[in-house]
Amino acid sequence: MSKTNIEYLHLQDVDFLCSDGPILCSDGKNFTVLGPWDRKNRYIDYMRVLQTPFRKLCRLRFLNPDRSTAFAVDNSTKKRRGQAYITDGSISVNFQNGRRRTASVTLANYGSDFQYNVNNIWFGQEIALDEGLVLADGTDFYIQQGVFLIDTPSEEILPNSRTMTYNLVDKWANLDGTLFGNLEGTYEVAVGTNIFEPISALLSEDRGNGRPLDGIKPIYTEYYNQRTQELPDGSTVKMTDLPYTVRKDGGSDKKADVILELAGAVNAVVGYDELGALRIDPSQDDILDDTKPVIWQFSEKETTLLGMTYEVKNTEVYNDYIIYGEQLDDYSQPRGRAQNLDPKSDTNVNLIGRKTIRESAPGYVTNKQCEDRAAWELKRATILKKAVTISCSQILHIQENRLISIVRTDKEGSPVERHLILGFSRPLTANGEMTINAVSVHDFPVATITDTEEE
């Protein structure tokens, strides 16, 4: 690791990178979960090797119902099970509600273990995808990138070879009807229900074979703890208590639609993370994205950075959002309005004038819901028009919704710009370049909740 990045990589950043789930050590047969001290040391070694020419590792672990590894296949030509090995593939991640992770993996010389049929691998089979590299001491280092399900397998048979390609989707496919997730009838969640309870219940439902739809405990944000909102009747309730009844039709709606609406009731974002756990994270404007840990710093002087493309679409920027909720029985209608009055932002109302957009939010019955939604939409409408695409060598610990920084040596004073990762993609088996899509947190406006009455 260069002197610049040694100085940049603080101990707390390493603690953060090591904290999110298992780092597995492999001797070729067995997988051992590392303890905290070994994890930190090996992660530091990984960061050093990452900036040198390294040997890329990738691996599929086919999981038992208890999430232990039944067997695995990797990109090594040695000690491969059934002579199978990974020849090609890619992974893509996008930070959004619902499905976030997709991958494609091609196997060559696969044996019967990897045949796609009901006696071997079948839909619903969970597969962990790991990427890694060989450390300086010769041991393998892996970072889990997601838990996937096979969507559309394909097989190619040629005179001298045969290959199988797994197109993989994350576990959201269990909820949106791709593989599972159809509602059996009308589904209702009563007003006043804590939104997390029905989500946990849906994930725990029996598939019909004695196994739950999702055996991993979901991760729920604590952001909403102790927060309240006022209902139309003047009463004050917990923010996590559903302010209206959610009703879904079993003929057209899916379990994913239930979860999206429950999360939307508090303006949260929901999707599966790299460890295969469903996460619900807050999207509220008072969360300061620029305080998140920076997990990598780029500089034009560093070999990891291959190129950058900045794109600005000022004509599509909106700086004044008005959200209308449900028309209530007393003929009132909750509203929320957020404006960009931030003097540090170059798209604030006082600079470019008010560019207003109005949207409806069916089901929203409180001003608080509408205000939070307006602030969130305001942020998205501003930052998504000022994006950067980075081409770089492969950085395996990159995560969505985390920060990277860029030292702009092409600007006077070499300012350091911080960017929030919205997505990335990279090849699995090669040391080829990866692409990161991000937006500058310096452009995030501080939303101001203003009078909802229209002028």
Decide if 430 contacts 56 (C-beta within 8 A).
Answer: yes
Amino acid at 244: Y
**Measured between alpha carbons, how far is residue 82 from residues 61, 108, 111 in Å?**
14, 10, 5
Q: What CATH number belongs to 314-382?
A: 3.30.1920.10
pLDDT of residue 12: 38
Decide if 328 contacts 334 (C-beta within 8 A).
Answer: yes
* pLDDT tens for each residue of 170-217: 999 999 999 999 998 999 999 999 999 999 999 999 988 888 999 999
**Among 256, 230, 247, 263, which Cα is nearest to 371's?**
230
* DSSP letter, residue 194: B
| pLDDT less than 50: residues of the chain | 1-16, 18-37
SS3 state at 379 = helix
pLDDT of residue 317: 85
- Phi then psi dihedrals of residue 201, to 5 deg: -65, -40
Residues 256, 274, 4, CA angle at the centre, nearest 5°?
140
Give pairs for 302-306: CB < 8 Å, separation 24+: 302/2, 302/4, 302/5, 302/51, 303/51, 303/393, 304/50, 304/51, 304/392, 304/393, 304/395, 305/390, 305/391, 305/392, 305/406, 306/391, 306/392, 306/393, 306/433
Contacts of 453 (CB under 8 A, 6+ apart): none
pLDDT of residue 26: 37
Can you list the alpha helix ranges (DSSP code H) found in 247-396? 255-264, 349-352, 367-383
pLDDT of residue 383: 77
pLDDT of residue 38: 66
For residue 81, give both structure tokens.
């099970």
For residue 433, give both structure tokens.
């370049």
pLDDT of residue 29: 39
**Measured between alpha carbons, how far is residue 425 from residues 93, 95, 142, 310 in Å?**
6, 12, 17, 18
pLDDT of residue 31: 39
pLDDT of residue 61: 94
pLDDT of residue 454: 52
**Measured between alpha carbons, how far is residue 42 from residues 20, 27, 156 in Å?**
15, 15, 39
Residue with tokens 């710093």: 297
- 3-state SS track over 16-85: HHHHCCCCEEECCCCEEECCHHHHHHHHHHHHHHCCCCCCEEEEEEEECCCCCEEEEEECCCCCCHHHCE
Give the predicted TM-score (pTM) of the model.
0.86
Decide if 237 contacts 296 (C-beta within 8 A).
Answer: no
**Measured between alpha carbons, how far is residue 323 from residues 267, 364, 379, 386 in Å?**
13, 9, 14, 23
For residue 432, give both structure tokens.
């080829």
For residue 21, give both structure tokens.
């789930």
CATH 3.55.50 for domain 187-282, yes or no, is yes
CA 23 – CA 68 distance, rounded (Å) = 14
pLDDT of residue 35: 42
To the nearest 5 percent, what fractions of the chain are helix, strand and coil? Answer: 20, 35, 45
CA 139 – CA 242 distance, rounded (Å) = 50
Q: For the chain, which residues make up each domain, given as ranges?
A: 3-88+100-167, 187-282, 289-313+385-443, 314-382
CA 56 – CA 141 distance, rounded (Å) = 10
Tell me, which fold does domain 289-313+385-443 have in CATH? Elongation Factor Tu (Ef-tu); domain 3 (2.40.30)
In this structure, the number of other CB atoms found within 10 A of the CB of residue 455 comes to 5
